[in-house]
Each structure stands twice: as C-alpha cells, then as structure tokens.
C-alpha cells in the first residue's frame, strides 16, 4: 500500500493528527502507516502452470468457471488487507494464495477472486462451496478438521497481547486478571481465553472483526486485545506511537490453507505448490516484502504435513 504525499494530503494528515491528539487520539498521527506497507517492487512473480489436472470436484468447477475463489482476511495489515480505495488485497496470506493459485493454473492477477471471510464463518464458507480455498491466518486444529481439511502448516504464529503504548501493568498472559481483553468470534485465541478463564481471569470482549478490537483498544474501552502475534505486530507497526505488542506468545497457531473436507487430491496439489515455492525462494521473498516489514522476522517454516 502506497501513501502518496501531496501538499494537500500532507495538510489533511496534519489536521487529522492534530484533531486526533486533541480528542484523545483515534487515528494514527502523521508518520503512522495506514494499512500495511507492502514492498510491491520486491514481490515475486508467479509462473502460471498450464494444463493442470487434479481429480478434485472443487478444482474442476473452478476451472470451468475460469476463476478460483479464495477466502481471505481484509483487515489484517501485512497479512490479508483490502485497500479501501483500490479494493485490492495485499499481504503475506494473499501472496501464499497467489502462489498456490498460479500452480493450480490460475493467473493470480486475472483469474483469482478474493472474498472477505471473517474468522467465525470460515468453515461454513468452505463447506458450502462459497470459497474454493481459504487463506486467512487459519489455525489448523482437530475441532476444525471435523468440518474442513487443511494444507499446511505453512507458517507458525502464537497467541500474544496488544496493548496501548503507555500500558504498564500488562506484561504477559499472567497479568490480564480482571482486565478487559478483546478478541474475535470464532477465533482460537478467544476460545483459549474462555476455556481457561480460571487461569487467565480476563474478561473477554468479543467482536466480529479485529479492527473493531483495535478501535476499542485505542478508545480505551478495553485494556488489551489478543490474537496471533503476526496479526498484532501488523497493528502495532501501523500505529507505532499508540500500540505495542507484549511479545510473549502463549500458544501455537500453525496456519493452514482451508479446503473442502477430505478433498485429498486438492490438498496434495496445494501442499505441492507451497513446498515448491518454499524451495525456490519465492515464499521467503513474498514474506520479506509483506509480513517481514511489520517486525516478524523470517523463520524457517514448519514441516508440511502430508
């Protein structure tokens, strides 16, 4: 996402920054980055495979329609973010989706349709065929495997906490007793807070989108927000003067690409694609141009499950 500075927009930014400071700060001041910061020039190009044959009903249907429909997140800077003006999606998960699409024979720039799917409706969207694949900070777990299958893990995240920059009392999961902690419906971090209420002692506050939690946090309605470190680092990088990540992960969140349950052929084709791009360096290149810019250093990805 590029933010071009003209004299006029600089003046608007300045005015917004001043009024934001005056009323307690709802938006980032001038200098904060809105919505991620992809290095578009450094993104890899993905060669589109020809004559792809995979014995998968979902893929055959997509080939017939000439479009691969991929579920994505739209409010996670550096991971899955939709630019409000261009409507284009960007971020690391979007790149993973594009590399897989290319290997399945779909041109990522022309033949892929991204659809915003929030955390609580991912399983439904996949099983009802509203999306062919889901690439959106999607933790692989046994509960979800009852409804969908996964190709992965392609990335390992962990639950963490995001707080206001001036927060002193919250230092990790041991210091959220009695605190209001925001997270998203249908997410594993929210479930963890609820399942272990006696251990954490936090008061969960639930919304449908992560950006709702960010707003609550900036407005002082909640004390912290919890989800994967990769997501939280994006919000902190967006508003470095207002927010910070506590930095102590307390769960494992292995990300997988969601697909229709028991579609073994599609699962194995997606795994082949991820593996090929991890080997040829384009996975790392994509990471460095997206998520790597928010403060999550590149680490060797976990072993794929076959």
Between 63 and 137, CB nearer to ligand GLU: 137
Between 187 and 249, CB nearer to ligand GLU: 187
Dihedral sign, Cα of residue 155, residue 161, residue 163, residue 169: negative
Q: How far apart are CA 133 and CA 54, in angstroms?
A: 15
- What is the smallest separation between the CB atom of 118 and ligand GLU, expressed in angstroms? 8
Between 102 and 161, CB nearer to ligand GLU: 161
- What is the smallest separation between the CB atom of 28 and ligand GLU, expressed in angstroms? 23
Under 8 Å CB-to-CB from 9, ≥6 apart: which residues? none
HSE value, Cβ hemisphere, 13 Å, CA-based, for 63? 17
Between 74 and 282, CB nearer to ligand GLU: 74
Q: For 89-101, b where at least 16 C-beta lie within 10 A, e where not — what string? A: bbbbbbbbbbbbb
- What is the smallest separation between the CB atom of 255 and ligand GLU, expressed in angstroms? 7
- What is the smallest separation between the CB atom of 166 and ligand GLU, expressed in angstroms? 26
Between 166 and 299, CB nearer to ligand GLU: 299
Under 8 Å CB-to-CB from 183, ≥6 apart: which residues? 189, 190, 193, 204, 205, 206, 207, 213, 225, 226, 227
Task: Find out whether 243 and 212 touch, Cβ atoms under 8 Å.
Answer: no
Residues that bind ligand GLU (CB under 6 A): 119, 136-139, 184, 187-189, 227-228, 253
61 to 21, 47, 78: CA distances (angstroms): 52, 22, 31
- What is the smallest separation between the CB atom of 228 and ligand GLU, expressed in angstroms? 5
């Amino acid at each position: 996402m590029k933010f071009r500075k003209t004299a006029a927009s600089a003046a608007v930014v300045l005015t917004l920054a001043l009024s934001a400071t005056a009323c307690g700060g709802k938006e980032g001041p001038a200098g904060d980055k809105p919505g991620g910061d992809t290095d578009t020039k450094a993104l890899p190009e993905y060669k589109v495979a020809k004559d792809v044959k995979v014995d998968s009903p979902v893929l055959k249907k997509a080939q017939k329609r000439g479009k691969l429909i991929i579920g994505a997140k739209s409010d996670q800077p550096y991971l899955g973010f939709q630019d409000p003006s261009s409507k284009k999606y960007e971020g690391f998960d979007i790149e993973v989706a594009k590399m897989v699409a290319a290997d399945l024979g779909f041109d990522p720039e022309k033949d892929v349709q991204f659809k915003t799917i929030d955390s609580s409706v991912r399983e439904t969207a996949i099983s009802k065929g509203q999306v062919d694949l889901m690439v959106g900070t999607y933790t692989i777990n046994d509960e979800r495997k009852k409804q969908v299958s996964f190709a992965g893990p392609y990335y390992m995240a962990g639950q963490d906490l995001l707080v206001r920059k001036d927060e002193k009392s919250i230092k990790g999961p041991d210091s959220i007793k009695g605190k209001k902690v925001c997270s998203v419906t249908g997410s594993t971090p929210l479930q963890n807070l609820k399942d272990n209420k006696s251990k954490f002692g936090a008061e969960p506050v639930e919304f449908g989108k992560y950006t709702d939690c960010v707003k609550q946090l900036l407005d002082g309605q909640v004390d912290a927000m919890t989800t994967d470190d990769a997501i939280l680092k994006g919000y902190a990088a967006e508003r470095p003067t207002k927010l910070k990540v506590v930095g102590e992960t307390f769960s494992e969140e292995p990300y997988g690409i969601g697909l229709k349950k028991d579609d073994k052929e599609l699962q194995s084709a997606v795994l082949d694609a991820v593996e090929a791009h991890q080997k040829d360096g384009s996975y790392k290149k994509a990471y460095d141009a997206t998520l790597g810019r928010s403060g999550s250093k590149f680490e060797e990805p976990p072993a794929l499950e076959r």
